Structure 1
Amino acid sequence: MKKIILSLAILASLTTTFTACTSSDDNSSAQPVTGEITGPIAADKVYPLGTYTLKGIVKINAGVTVTFDAGSTITCDKITGDNALVVLNGGKLIVNGTSALPVVFTEKSGIPGSWGGIIIYGDAPIKAIGGVTTSTSEDGNALPYGGTNAAHNGGSLNYVRVEYAGAKLADGTKENNGFTFYSCGSGTTLDHLVSYKGADDGYEFFGGTVSMTNAISYGNYDDAFDWQDGWQGQNNSNWYALQVTKGNYGMEIECSNNNNAFWPKVTNITLKRATGCTPEVAGDIQIDAIQFKKEANGDYSNIVIDGYGPYTEGATTYQGAAIKIQDVNTNTNQVNGSKIKLTNVKITNTALEILGANVGTPPTPISVIFPSGQYSTSTTATGASLTTGAWSTVGGVNLIQ
């Protein structure tokens, strides 16, 4: 009997050791693991260093925290159907990447527009079309967003790269982005992120108070950075965009036709457009570095703009601008009302400095004159200041050029 009991004890000990090496428990000696990630995720989960397959529209439920350890790669396959990682309001996504060991979310084919990227929902304040404080997402999930919780915390994303996103999910009204933030709050951390070769925007904010630091948008087909619904993040810095092959605006800024008394603040911005880069749709005129429309506003400083036109397509030459004001109301209420501030702006290889052009065919010219102190150029602006590493390198190519 004693021998049987001893044998069972040894077996239990061995089983416990094996489980620790491959489970979500903290174990520094654990070897990389493999596994499949499906949803919904209804209980806290830690994914240790490993290689995972994400299958389907995986939702992290309210009250649940999902954590990824540094160095992991998560791959989906568009052949299996729609794929995305969605954090529902009240859920949290914690990604503990490092400069040397980023966490990479990618898609098997390597084709832009192959999955839905990372989508996070919150209940921070928004101001959508008509001034409403709640709205419904356009990402195919058709979920409500908006609220009064300015400090909403959707988790902490550190050293995360999203590749080849931009798919249209289900019956969504538009493609998704590399990273999409629906009314996320200031308690959410977004730091050292890369959106790489997506078919829509690199990053899009739908209202909220969250801020983002040290972000790269590389080779995304639509806009590098985009927001609406009264986004008002205050601590944004070090944004870098390089548009290659296809690309629209460096920054598309709008406030959903609301003349707000608040606005976001971003410092240290670099927006570059490579030679030969064309709009997403041939013949389009979305080729400006920073576009303001629909009562867009904000405070932006230390900006480097390079390569925004002119470019020729067929027999037509298009003139890009560093700053574009696209409608009369934005010019009257935001420019003249001193709600747009652009200081220490360095402009090179760009056709026009400031363009006022109301939408239409052809566009109607708008006279844009910034009030004193609201706009200044410089030859010494430095733009984004980022430290390179594995997090900013894909296929041996440094994305910061």
Structure 2
Amino acid sequence: MKKRFLPLALALIVGFGAASCTVEINDGMGDSTTVAPGTSESVLSGTGTLKGTIAKDLLIKKGNYTLDGIVKVTNGATITIEAGAIFNVVTTKTSALVILNDGLIDAQGTANEPIVFTTSTKTPGDWGGITLYGEAPIKALNGNTTAISEDGNALSYGGNNANDYSGIMKFVRVEYAGKKIGDGTSETNTFTFYAVGAGTVLENLVAYKGTDDGFEWFGGTVSAKNLVSYGNFDDSFDWQDAWSGQNNSNWFAYQVGTGNFGMEIEASSNADNIAPKVNNLTLIRAAGTNPEAANSPEISAIQFKKQGSGIFSNVYISGYKNIGAQKAYAVLIQDGATETSQVNTGKIVVSPMTYLDADNAGVWGYAFTPNGGKTFTNTTTVTKVSLTPGAWATVDGVNLLAALQ
């Protein structure tokens, strides 16, 4: 039987590890109600603190909360977050929300009442963002079917269930993530997906001003719709380990201030991969946007390397211009092996494409002497992505979708 509590909850402390999954709900006046480990669900109503390991189902209702430290969902538990829940993340320590491969997330906001993770200091790199683990197939370096995660958790990922389900995220906005971890040079992404399966639902997600990638996939088969990557310091979209999502649509990246590639694509040097498909893609680089490192060549819209592949249709690209001696391209192929095995076999397609207010139009870029080279027709028939307006894509009164108008 599920037990629910009246909205007296002002703080929630979740015990560390499945063996100590007691949840304590405190009313702030010295009185508390303890939910025994046998309880199937707890409720956080309106305010409170989320911390530790969640090993029993948890419902978080609309309200204002604190996320304190690395919060992991495991042991078959589902964390359910209602529309309108807002999390202020603690930045004095490493904080993140991690859904392990035996946990689930059900976070369904709306366009007008999104679920928001932010910080009071509003500084890129404040925290670690949201990470999902699944059990879908990957192809890591040397064709390995498992690998160790780069997110500071150092967990093995990779499985054999292509339709694996890690949960649902709709209308979720994550701000100021990308915290440095480990040796101080590695960083987390705003949204990270390790071996996440095609049964998982990812729709209407915003990655806002993180210091690493907005969205990164490490293998897996999941697809995503209606993504916004805004002002992220590294790449707007990134994948490796032969991620193969087939039903992606309506992706929008706006690079402003600091930004590297619009998209960085690789397959961990596995020539035998299934090319992901993205329909309706808009990449815009604002004037004055510079790469993280001075004189860096990482200023092109879409980069393919290490056997990376992708089939993109209805692509609108604008603002990618040379910086000093570094040239910006709509598409940049980094190595001959990728051209031979992916471009020349039809596993890299970017068409139809509109390429505006940008340099080096009409030819793909090559970071090597190409085997043949490729030109493209710059069509004017492609229009920008269309996304639903609303609070989900508005930060401090700024409409993140303005560049699409």
TM-score normalized by structure 1? 0.88
1:68 counterpart (75, 81, 87): 81
Larger Cα-atom Rg: 1
Partner of 1:323: 331
State whether residues 150 and 208 of structure 1, in contact with CA within 8 Å, keep that contact through their aligned partners in structure 2: yes
Mapping 1:353-368, distance limit 5 Å: 353=361, 354-358=363-367, 364-366=368-370, 368=372
Mapping 1:1-400, distance limit 5 Å: 19-22=5-8, 33-79=46-92, 81-171=93-183, 174-311=186-323, 316-353=324-361, 354-358=363-367, 364-366=368-370, 368-370=372-374, 376-400=377-401
Task: Give me the whole-angstrom Cα distance separating, in 2, the residues matched to 1:105 and 1:205.
Answer: 20
User: Percent of pairs identical after alignment?
Assistant: 49
Aligned letter for 1:386? L
Task: Give me the whole-angstrom Cα distance separating, in 1, the residues matched to 2:372 and 2:263.
Answer: 19
Task: Give me the whole-angstrom Cα distance separating, in 2, the residues matched to 1:51 and 1:368.
Answer: 57
State whether residues 95 and 157 of structure 1, in contact with CA within 8 Å, keep that contact through their aligned partners in structure 2: yes
Unaligned runs of 5+ in 1: 1-15, 25-29, 359-363
Partner of 1:6: none
Task: Give me the whole-angstrom Cα distance separating, in 1, the residues matched to 2:335 and 2:160.
Answer: 30
Tell me by how many angstroms 1:380 deviates.
1.3
Tell me by how many angstroms 1:399 deviates.
0.5
* Structure with the higher helix share, 1 or 2: 1
SS of 2:392's partner is helix
Deviates more, 1:348-357 or 1:69-78: 348-357
Partner of 1:8: none
State whether residues 202 and 217 of structure 1, in contact with CA within 8 Å, keep that contact through their aligned partners in structure 2: yes
Task: Give me the whole-angstrom Cα distance separating, in 2, the residues matched to 1:279 and 1:368.
Answer: 29
Q: Deviations over 1:26-85 (max 9, x none)?
A: xxxx99721000110010000011111111111001301001110111111211x10000
User: How large is the RMSD of aligned CA atoms in angstroms?
Assistant: 2.0
Tell me by how many angstroms 1:106 deviates.
1.1
Task: Give me the whole-angstrom Cα distance separating, in 2, the residues matched to 1:173 and 1:246.
Answer: 17
- Alignment length (residue pairs): 367
Unaligned runs of 5+ in 2: 10-24, 26-42
Tell me by how many angstroms 1:321 deviates.
0.5
Aligned letter for 1:380? T
Partner of 2:21: none
- Alpha-carbon distance change, 22 to 379 in structure 1, aligned in 2, over 3 angstroms: farther
- Alpha-carbon distance change, 210 to 275 in structure 1, aligned in 2, over 3 angstroms: same
Tell me by how many angstroms 1:352 deviates.
1.4
Tell me by how many angstroms 1:172 deviates.
7.7
SS of 2:332's partner is strand
Tell me by how many angstroms 1:369 deviates.
3.6
Task: Give me the whole-angstrom Cα distance separating, in 2, the residues matched to 1:368 and 1:383.
Answer: 31
TM-score normalized by structure 2? 0.87
Aligned letter for 1:339? K
State whether residues 265 and 304 of structure 2, in contact with CA within 8 Å, keep that contact through their aligned partners in structure 1: yes
